[in-house]
Chains A and B, each alone.
Chain A
């Protein structure tokens, strides 16, 4: 698999398990970083690359599930794969609902873990790509003047220029000029494309 850089973060309090996981994941050429506790993970400097978390459900200090929730609250939502020594169904249901990619009971099948890691990294990569695009759109949106933003709002809900001009007490010509500016600054080739961009900017998920 020749892909761009991805890091697998392993948090497990058992040193043997950390070593074994690190070794297993590195057999498929992925970069691995191991941590003994969530605190250690949070304090570490992490490069801005795609990745996923492999978490023991029961961790020193706080449970893996609680930790996952806290990460989500802080807006850091790397895809998570839970592993546990005492997998029980209610716990795995909660984990999956909370957005876990996979829930594996120790001892697990190595391929299952590696597959889950790949799924997770792929998911993260897509998420990151989406986030990048939205960030770019936002950047473009930020270059618009107050008037241009006003006009864009009317344009994307399908108001004709004449109506916009009446609403804003402007000449139709002035509206046309601003509208051209909006299309240019937003890199929109057509009206439908500008509408899609506006949708994405308004997506609450994208604002996170």
Chain B
């Protein structure tokens, strides 16, 4: 009894010490997890603490390599003994499949396990003699996230040890603590990644509080403007300082309108680039972020440097205007004879009528009535000459596109008046088929006339060599359904060569020896700028038909 009593007392003392040790160990592990920022930082410390607390030689962590379907050693700690050092090498390289070795078994069952004497069983590395010789006992437990095993931690001791149930419970609880920590740090890592993405996004990005004061501003903004975080944080309208003075008032108005209305905003404004002191155009956009109840939490937005894009757009627009001006001049040049005739005709009539008028007044007695009629003709012909000149001037002038309500028939007739003579001289029969119940279209009269003129000149040229059949030009207007008006220019010329047809509307593509190849490409871009389409097709039995259609919009009330 006394023996057994001593025994019991001894056990009690040992157990109390052991319990204190374990409590301390648990406390230390908790502290490590509380202080560490990442799993990689916490794990070696935990392995060391457990080994030292329990007097074990080596601890290792394996994480599941999902791709390979194995457990792979990710961390290892060992005591400074030579035996443990030998053991480290192959443990680091060890991998386990499910159910293989002690870690494999833990992975499969999700429960702690131990081997009292490794001498009798394969431990961490199946069949390894060194392992069997050095190690005595092994214990392993899962890192659990709920019921899912995400890794295994294992230890080896030189002492033969029979771990009690209590130790297994403690280790299991450490396992799930590490699991929870892993999950938490993964979430933090993800959040950090997202913040860093925002910081490094290749556009100035920012968020603004519902009252319009700045919240977060990303790195690119600071770099671009040269402003410092402290300055931005302490000056709610710091961004205004980097704005071009001419843009400030407008930008501020749009900004505050967008904030107060809760709708956000889109605006273009020039910001100062710190590195070279130039103002550059930015596209600034902000949208509200709301909670479930619809309250605005923040506005998030970006400022994109669109300066180069804007400039190239502008250059493109200028070039296009230049080109269209050029083609217009060219078209006019081709029509010079026609125009000279159109102007000279009323002038000739004026001079002749004036001479007749003078003669009527010089007769005895003066024929005042006849002279008056001559003067009336002069006035009429004078207006006619002025009208021709007005039309030519309108065509020559380079104007910003205008949007007027146009009667497409009238617009077409004005062009035909200019081309009439050219058509007659080329012995071309002109037929017009106008639908007189067309709705008005919205567009630039001069530009559309330029398209028509270009198509008519092309038609005249296409028919210039035709002798075998009549040269006929048909201009027709029609409505294709309620929302489209179209104009057809149909010739009986040489027609489209299938080789050239696909390239017809390409810039600088021409089949004429003296052509620049920009007429049709500009014509198409003009029509498309009006929301319409320009296309070509073969005419039967000869020639080509060009059709352009324009959308009909209801006049604004």
Contact = CB atoms under 8 A, between A and B. Distances in A.
A100 B373 CA distance: 32
Interface in A1-53: 13-14, 16-17, 19-21, 23-24, 26-28
A107 B374 contact: no
A60 B424 contact: yes
Nearest to B381: A16
Contact of A86 (B341, B363, B377): B341
A20 B337 contact: no
B399 interface: no
Interface stretch (B35-43, B223-231, B345-353, B522-530): B345-353
Contact of B353 (A20, A26, A61, A85): A20
Given A16-B384, A23-B374, A85 B356 contact: no
Contacts of B340: 85-86
Contacts of B350: 20, 107
Contacts of B169: none
B260 interface: no
A162 B340 CA distance: 75
A27 B370 CA distance: 9
Contact of A14 (B349, B351, B370, B425): B349
A13 B363 CA distance: 30
A24 B362 CA distance: 13
Contacts of B374: 20, 23
Interface in A75-114: 83, 85-86, 106-110, 113
B360 interface: yes
A110 B352 contact: yes
Contacts of A106: 344-345, 347-348, 351
Interface string A102-143: 000011111001000000000000000000000000000000
Interface in B316-365: 337, 340-341, 344-353, 355-356, 359-360, 363
B381 A27 contact: no
A85 B363 contact: no
A21 B341 contact: no
B17 interface: no
Contacts of B363: 27
A34 B373 CA distance: 18
Contacts of A86: 337, 340-341, 344
A109 B373 CA distance: 20
Nearest to B351: A107
Contacts of B373: 23
B281 to A, nearest CB: 53
A55 B349 CA distance: 14
B355 A24 contact: yes
Contacts of B347: 106-107
A86 B345 CA distance: 10
A83 B341 CA distance: 13
B194 interface: no
B349 A23 contact: no
B396 to A, nearest CB: 21
B337 A107 contact: no
Contacts of B356: 20, 23-24, 26-27, 110
Contacts of B381: 16, 20
Contacts of B360: 27
A129 to B, nearest CB: 29
B345 A17 contact: yes
A58 interface: yes
A19 B352 CA distance: 9
Contacts of B370: 23
B436 interface: no
Contacts of A17: 345, 348-349, 352
A19 B345 contact: no
B345 A20 contact: no
Contacts of A28: 359
Contacts of B355: 24, 109-110
A113 B353 CA distance: 13
A17 B352 CA distance: 8
A85 B425 contact: no
B380 interface: yes
B337 A16 contact: no
Contacts of B384: 16
B346 A85 contact: no
Given A20-B377, A23-B373, A110-B359, A85 B351 contact: no
A26 B353 CA distance: 12
A114 to B, nearest CB: 9
A60 B423 CA distance: 10
A200 B542 CA distance: 57
B323 to A, nearest CB: 31
Nearest to B347: A107
A65 to B, nearest CB: 14
B359 A16 contact: no
Contacts of B348: 14, 17, 20, 83, 85, 106-108
Nearest to B374: A23
Contacts of A108: 348, 351-352
20 contacts: A14-B345, A16-B345, A16-B346, A17-B349, A20-B348, A23-B352, A23-B374, A24-B359, A26-B356, A27-B356, A58-B425, A60-B424, A85-B341, A106-B347, A107-B347, A107-B350, A107-B352, A110-B351, A110-B355, A110-B359
Given A19-B377, A27-B360, A107-B348, 7 more contacts: A20-B381, A23-B352, A23-B377, A24-B352, A85-B340, A85-B348, A107-B344
Interface of A: 13-14, 16-17, 19-21, 23-24, 26-28, 58, 60-61, 83, 85-86, 106-110, 113
Interface of B: 337, 340-341, 344-353, 355-356, 359-360, 363, 370, 373-374, 377, 380-381, 384, 424-425, 427
